[in-house]
């Protein structure tokens, strides 16, 4: 019994998390979300990465009737060239996104009999989203222990965040070491033919590859 | 600013919770879920109750690709005449249901600028679901404080459970006092023309009306 549920967005971090969990011997079941994001490119990337890893995946469709984020609403601009160490939470924040994603992961884990959920949350080179921080992850796991049948039965479903304290450069090096098909991943908030290069996600990724002194084979993939 | 998000299933408890929140002066925004439950009757009831209360509502569709519950899988029988004080969790338990529902409520609340979420959870005359107990609700609220932008900004989104310590008889009396259109509510786990009378939900409701010494006008509604 070594099943794990992996939240997979198709970006570098979640793909690295999948390969990390796989390297630890978990039978990985990926969860991919179609939640009305601006473009479908990341969903295609997530599927491609799951297939490359020979792992099962499920696609969950969520129709959020409200907006409140640049990632859900094309009328709101994606910030460009934002200061990466800014302390304010950017317009790309989606209200309760990881809270929702983890809730489905918990349901799936319990239905599967999996005891581990992996999420590629990172709290070093990130955009300041509150639902990526260790304090949130700890609180989420405590809540699961109270709210799930598994918890009442004295068993634990853990929320694993192997990347949470890594820099983007460390994540790049780990991805390369684990054989992550970097060219299949997609990080850009826009859905263009090539990454925009100016959104937070592109710039954090670029910083990681530069600091790791490695070419990003995903930079020009379409 | 007195907006509230109300989780509304169309049953007696959530409908009473809506009328309670309304009586406290909240501008109520109801959330109704189509999550692949066995029948659509409760969704119709929820809409009817929201309309009767003159409150806004949103319907969120969730396609759960997994089962793991008698409420999601018609091949699994709904328990009949189950001992109501049984300590085991019945087959009608849906993995992480309230965890998922509350996660959408948190997202909606943040998008709306609402500071309150109401849920009709009850831990007295209930089926022993772990995600109805006070310890779970407290843990959920603590998690929200860590995971939401609202929390980081020092504001709180509270999870309100006005029914959690009430007996079913108390809930019936409160419903009648608040003018809840009991005849529009639907509690039965089955979707027949009339309630089955033998599932947990029917029997808890019947117990409540009997102890409150009041006829259930929803008992024969179709």
The 10s digit of each residue's pLDDT in A69-78 is 877 888 888 8
A186 closest CA partner among A26, A6, A54, A14: A14
Out of A175-179, B79-83, B179-183, B190-194, which region has the weakest mean confidence (pLDDT)?
B79-83
**At A222, is the pLDDT very low, low, confident or very high (cuts 50, 70, 90)?**
very low
The 10s digit of each residue's pLDDT in A188-198 is 888 888 998 98
What pLDDT, on the 0 to 100 scale, is given for residue A11? 94
Contact between residue A65 and residue A88 where contact means Cβ atoms under 8 Å apart: no
For residue B128, give the chain A residue with the closest CA: A149
Q: Both tokens of residue A129?
A: 């989203």
Average pLDDT of the segment spanning A27-39: 91
The 10s digit of each residue's pLDDT in B98-134 is 999 999 999 999 999 999 999 999 998 888 889 999 9
The nearest CA of chain A is from the CA of B96 a distance in Å of 5
DSSP A194: S
- State the DSSP string of A127-139: ---GGGSHHHHHH
The 10s digit of each residue's pLDDT in A158-178 is 999 999 999 999 999 999 999
Three-state DSSP state, B35: coil
CB–CB of A107 and B59 under 8 A? no
ipTM of the complex: 0.93
Phi, psi at B142, each rounded to 5°? -65, -40
What pLDDT, on the 0 to 100 scale, is given for residue A82? 79
pLDDT > 70? residue A221? no
d(CA A163, CA A17): 7
CB–CB of B142 and A143 under 8 A? yes
Q: Is A67 exposed, middle or buried (0-12, 13-18, 19+ CB in 10 A)?
A: middle
What pLDDT, on the 0 to 100 scale, is given for residue B219? 65
Contact between residue B98 and residue B131 where contact means Cβ atoms under 8 Å apart: yes
Q: Both tokens of residue B161?
A: 């459970």
Question: Which has the higher per-residue pLDDT, B213 or A218?
Answer: B213
| CB-based contacts of A154, cutoff 8 Å, min separation 6 | none
What pLDDT, on the 0 to 100 scale, is given for residue B210? 94
Could you tell me the residue ranges of all domains in chain A?
3-211
pLDDT > 50? residue B222? no
Cα three-residue angle B85-B91-B92, rounded to 5 degrees: 85
Mean pLDDT of the residues in chain A: 91
| CB-based contacts of B5, cutoff 8 Å, min separation 6 | B28, B29, B30, B31, B105, B108, B109, B112, B114, B116, B117, B118
d(CA B114, CA B148): 13
The 10s digit of each residue's pLDDT in B126-159 is 888 899 999 999 999 999 999 999 988 899 999 9
The nearest CA of chain A is from the CA of B152 a distance in Å of 7
For residue B95, give the chain A residue with the closest CA: A107
Question: Which has the higher per-residue pLDDT, A127 or B182?
Answer: B182
Contact between residue B80 and residue B199 where contact means Cβ atoms under 8 Å apart: yes
Contact between residue B37 and residue B71 where contact means Cβ atoms under 8 Å apart: yes
pLDDT > 60? residue A220? no
Residues in chain A closer than 8 A to B144 (CB atoms): 99
Phi, psi at B33, each rounded to 5°? -115, 130
The nearest CA of chain B is from the CA of A149 a distance in Å of 6
What pLDDT, on the 0 to 100 scale, is given for residue A118? 98
For residue B151, give the chain A residue with the closest CA: A130
Per CATH, the homologous superfamily of domain A3-211 is HUPs (3.40.50.620)
Question: Which has the higher per-residue pLDDT, A68 or A221?
Answer: A68
CB–CB of B139 and A143 under 8 A? yes
pLDDT > 60? residue B36? yes
For residue A131, give the chain B residue with the closest CA: B147
What pLDDT, on the 0 to 100 scale, is given for residue B75? 82
pTM of the predicted protein model: 0.94
CB–CB of A99 and B97 under 8 A? no
Taking each helix axis from N to C end, the angle separating A168-178 and A12-23, rounded to the nearest 10 degrees, works out to 50
What pLDDT, on the 0 to 100 scale, is given for residue B67? 79
**At A86, is the pLDDT very low, low, confident or very high (cuts 50, 70, 90)?**
low
């Amino acid at each position: 019994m070594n099943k794990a549920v992996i939240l997979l967005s198709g970006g570098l971090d979640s793909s690295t998390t999948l390969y990390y969990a796989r390297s630890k011997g978990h039978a990985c079941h990926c969860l991919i979300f179609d939640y009305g994001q601006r473009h479908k490119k990341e969903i295609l990337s997530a599927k491609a990465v799951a297939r490359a890893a020979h792992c099962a995946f499920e696609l969950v469709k969520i129709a959020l009737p409200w907006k409140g984020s640049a990632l859900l609403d094309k009328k709101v601009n994606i910030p460009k060239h934002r200061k990466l160490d800014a302390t304010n939470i950017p317009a790309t924040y989606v209200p309760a996104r990881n809270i929702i994603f983890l809730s489905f992961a918990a349901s799936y884990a319990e239905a599967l009999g999996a005891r581990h959920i992996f999420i590629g949350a990172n709290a070093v080179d990130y955009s300041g989203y509150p639902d990526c921080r260790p304090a949130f992850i700890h609180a989420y796991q405590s809540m699961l222990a109270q709210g799930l049948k598994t918890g009442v039965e004295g068993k634990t479903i853990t929320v694993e965040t192997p990347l949470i304290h890594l820099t983007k450069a460390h994540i790049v090096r780990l991805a390369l070491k684990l054989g992550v098909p970097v060219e299949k991943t997609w990080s850009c908030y826009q859905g263009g033919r090539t990454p925009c290069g100016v959104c937070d996600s592109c710039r954090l990724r670029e910083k990681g590859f530069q600091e790791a002194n490695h070419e990003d084979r995903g930079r020009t993939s379409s």
